[in-house]
Structure 1
């Protein structure tokens, strides 16, 4: 059996790996002209791929169900080689004075060491490497039309070709074109969380010495600017601010200068290094009643975007890819050549939803609840967050944080599919 996967990012590559593990053929279609550079540092300057999600050079905290999935893929050690080794998150007031600090040992201790900070692009590189050079990954084309019938699904691509398969998987991110073609416009599912985010790479050897191995953020009500070291000469910026209007500005750089320009310490230097076209997007979620339609399914941010305010997006995508492949693998036990009818395929995709969606729904609700603390809107909320972070290393605080970081072993992500092949 064969699947066409739209999107060559983390979700798409993980889905391809697991489907091949289940005996399927998998073709990955990626709009970007070539693979992202192996290092996320270079990927920040690379053109966006079809996934349209946060730039691949973003720093991500990787833990939870996706960590267990990477272990089952045999990739734990390889991924840890890409860890950034950040020691802490340090917050500063608008004038540069220290306000709070979260030591990296806290989440590591809560998760039993199953916690890693790395660049999004480096995780993608590990997955692409694991898929191998013989994998069918086609760059420079995207999805144009989807046609389904009783025998299969046809994907008409932007290069004019048409690919036939048993299943079509949309792994093309928060602005998914697959979702729009099959399920309708993004506006039906996009839930704006009241903030805009931006990211870019900059070169400043002197500044790297100041940042050391900490993510440092300058904060004020409704706005914060963060920066972290990538090498001896290069760093990355991550800026976020509240915005009641979800529409994006025509000139993102000018908007960043306007909103973040009042912050002190090293922020003026950071803003001066901002390129003309930084990554810039709304902060939001994709909330859908269902993720499949007959022979088409969505995975990753295309259906389960939790937002940077909730975290674990990459981890959830990798874990969901495993579950999707497990359920599809039950269609033809022991034979990659057998065919399955549309009703059988649709039932497998509904089982995938049933195992994964409850966890995603819970995570999305938590993200909406925590949104007001990610960039506090008022001095009072900012004060409360600072106090909470100052207490973060205490036993009581660790007990409060544990439910957000530790994933119970009996979640639907980990429940083995009955009859699935190992």
Structure 2
């Protein structure tokens, strides 16, 4: 099979191996890109009706940045990035309490850091695929069976696929993982927080942001607001939640939890609408002893969600997809490649998951004292020569693909 990293571009071999990837998000699209160029016959299925909307802002760095560079899509990503200059943390009266010069983070990452809306990254990956990759929206996996080297997959539209490899790239609530390894509760590590994000249009609200990223943090709660393209405003909320059960009405829960904070938060909550327009979920990690069973494997949040607190979900999705494709390319049989993929990625993932747990109290301070200490550190880091104080915030973001 051709090695795309070294300019390989051979035509697919006659005896193509078939792969079905469940989940056309960041991990699935990245994996499809690499396997297609390695000569696989690739089919993607996605339960959503189509590409998702903007989502929420992500820091794109480390493994994701390195993979995007290898794929040649960095120029396009730079066209859709948001050049955040600073993040201003305010109090309940809108007064500044701390400021983060985002250039300091870029300096710590040698300039290899982009601020992207998750949906924009997904769209760029989608547009980078060749016409040979088939994507079928509006369906998922209903049943999985294995017979020797063949995987039989029943889909929810009543069709059946027979493939050499099935990959679950379908997120933290993976259907492929459930069918192959068992119930989600066996693998989910709840971290004690819940999070939400939604987008709305309000010109008056947008003007109050003065073109910048504004954040308000009080004990056990944080909320952020920032203007995005097309006159829209994006939101982000996170709060402690000892009971991991998700609320039946997410917007009511947000109003109950954040409604007393003041500033412009109540105005933002007035725009909250339950349904497909809001993202609301647990902050959790997935921990598994093994990611593969026979010729069924998992990638991305389906097997190694690092959590929102680690801030690397998209980057690790791309990094893991790249490593999986490379190990399959190098292996003589599929099962060998799956074992090598896990051996390479699992130790790195465990480090990043631990990093995410350690940073929880910094991102969502549990007491007023923690809030004040966080503000003090952020303000000190802005002084000449003290930007190194931010190193713990990016300490777990190194790439996993620079070496074998």
**Aligned mates of 1:407, 1:262 — CA distance in 2:** 34
CA distances 1:315-351 after superposition (whole Å, capped 9, x unpaired):
111111111001111246xxxxxxxxxxx32221010
Residue 242 (structure 1) aligns with: 240
Residue 96 (structure 2) aligns with: 98
Answer yes or no: is 1:31 the counterpart of 2:19: no
CA distances 1:268-298 after superposition (whole Å, capped 9, x unpaired):
1111111133321111111111211111111
Asked whether the equivalents of residues 199 and 238 of structure 1 are also in contact (C-alpha less than 8 Å), the reply is yes
**Aligned mates of 1:113, 1:61 — CA distance in 2:** 12
Say what the alpha-carbon RMSD is for the aligned residues. 1.8
Classify the secondary structure of the residue corresponding to 1:202.
strand
**Aligned mates of 2:69, 2:109 — CA distance in 1:** 15
**Aligned mates of 1:120, 1:390 — CA distance in 2:** 28
Answer yes or no: is 1:379 the counterpart of 2:368: yes
Asked whether the equivalents of residues 188 and 287 of structure 2 are also in contact (C-alpha less than 8 Å), the reply is yes
Classify the secondary structure of the residue corresponding to 2:80.
coil
**Aligned mates of 1:400, 1:100 — CA distance in 2:** 14
**Aligned mates of 2:319, 2:177 — CA distance in 1:** 20
Asked whether the equivalents of residues 85 and 213 of structure 1 are also in contact (C-alpha less than 8 Å), the reply is no
Answer yes or no: is 1:12 the counterpart of 2:28: yes
Classify the secondary structure of the residue corresponding to 1:273.
coil
**Aligned mates of 1:237, 1:103 — CA distance in 2:** 20
**Aligned mates of 2:211, 2:85 — CA distance in 1:** 6
Answer yes or no: is 1:346 the counterpart of 2:335: yes
CA distances 1:342-400 after superposition (whole Å, capped 9, x unpaired):
xx322210100111111111000010111122111111111111111112234665435
The runs of at least 4 consecutive aligned structure 1 residues that moved more than 6 Å come to 406-409
Counting only pairs closer than 5 Å after superposition, residues 47-86 of structure 1 correspond to structure 2 as: 57-86=55-84
Asked whether the equivalents of residues 208 and 232 of structure 1 are also in contact (C-alpha less than 8 Å), the reply is no
Q: TM-score scaled to structure 2, two decimals?
A: 0.91
Residue 148 (structure 1) aligns with: 146
Residue 299 (structure 1) aligns with: 299
Asked whether the equivalents of residues 10 and 318 of structure 1 are also in contact (C-alpha less than 8 Å), the reply is yes
Deviation at 1:187, TM superposition (A): 0.5
Residue 39 (structure 1) aligns with: none
Residue 288 (structure 1) aligns with: 288
CA distances 1:40-61 after superposition (whole Å, capped 9, x unpaired):
xxx15xxxxxxxxxxxx11100
Classify the secondary structure of the residue corresponding to 1:118.
strand
**Aligned mates of 1:255, 1:273 — CA distance in 2:** 14
Classify the secondary structure of the residue corresponding to 2:381.
coil
Residue 403 (structure 2) aligns with: 415
How many residue pairs end up in the alignment?
386
Change (3 A) 1:383 1:402: closer
**Aligned mates of 1:408, 1:35 — CA distance in 2:** 27
CA distances 1:86-130 after superposition (whole Å, capped 9, x unpaired):
211111112322111111101111111100001001000000000
Change (3 A) 1:155 1:384: same
**Aligned mates of 1:232, 1:135 — CA distance in 2:** 31
Classify the secondary structure of the residue corresponding to 1:33.
coil
**Aligned mates of 2:400, 2:118 — CA distance in 1:** 25
Counting only pairs closer than 5 Å after superposition, residues 260-409 of structure 1 correspond to structure 2 as: 260-277=258-275, 278-331=278-331, 344-394=333-383, 397-402=386-391, 405=394
Change (3 A) 1:219 1:5: same
**Aligned mates of 1:222, 1:23 — CA distance in 2:** 49
Change (3 A) 1:403 1:382: closer
**Which deviates further from its counterpart, 157-166 or 275-284?**
275-284
Answer yes or no: is 1:186 the counterpart of 2:184: yes
Classify the secondary structure of the residue corresponding to 1:141.
coil
**Aligned mates of 1:414, 1:388 — CA distance in 2:** 31
**Aligned mates of 1:398, 1:233 — CA distance in 2:** 33
Asked whether the equivalents of residues 61 and 397 of structure 2 are also in contact (C-alpha less than 8 Å), the reply is no
Which of 1, 9, 21 is the matching residue for 2:37?
21
Counting only pairs closer than 5 Å after superposition, residues 88-237 of structure 1 correspond to structure 2 as: 88-231=86-229, 233-237=231-235
Classify the secondary structure of the residue corresponding to 1:29.
strand
Deviation at 1:238, TM superposition (A): 0.9
Q: TM-score scaled to structure 1, two decimals?
A: 0.87
Classify the secondary structure of the residue corresponding to 1:81.
helix
Change (3 A) 1:177 1:253: same
Change (3 A) 1:394 1:294: farther
What are structure 2's unaligned runs of at least 5 residues? Answer: 1-16
Deviation at 1:206, TM superposition (A): 2.0
